[in-house]
Amino acid sequence: MRSTSRYTVWFVNQSLRAGQVCVYHDLDNAACNQGGLRQLAWRVAPANPQVQVGFDWEPDWELLWSDATDAQARQFNKASMSQGSALLLSRNAYGCAFTALPDQATRGRLTIQSDASIPTVGTVRVGIGMNGGGALALPAGPNLSTVFTPVSERELTYWISFGAHGLRAGDPLDTDLLNAPLRFCFPDRVTTMTALLDAQNVWTLLPGPPASGGWIEGNGA
2: buried, middle or exposed (CB in 10 Å: 19+, 13-18, 0-12)? exposed
Q: Determine the 3-state secondary structure of 181 from DSSP.
A: coil
Cβ contacts of 92 within 8 Å, gap of 6 or more: 117
- Could you tell me the residue ranges of all domains in the chain? 7-217
DSSP 34: S
Backbone torsion region of residue 37, taken as left when φ is above 0, otherwise alpha when ψ lies between -120 and 50, otherwise beta: beta
Q: What are phi and psi of 218, to 5 degrees?
A: -85, 140
Q: What is the pLDDT along the chain (221 residues), one digit of tens a residue?
A: 556 799 999 999 999 999 999 999 999 999 999 999 999 999 999 999 999 999 999 999 999 999 987 667 899 999 999 999 999 999 999 999 999 999 999 999 999 999 999 999 889 999 999 999 999 999 999 999 999 999 999 999 999 999 998 899 999 999 999 999 999 999 999 999 999 999 999 999 999 999 864 444 444 44
Beta bridge partners of 215: 52
Cα separation of 91 and 140, whole Å?
11
Nearest to 19 by CA among 44, 56, 54: 44
**177 DSSP assignment:** G
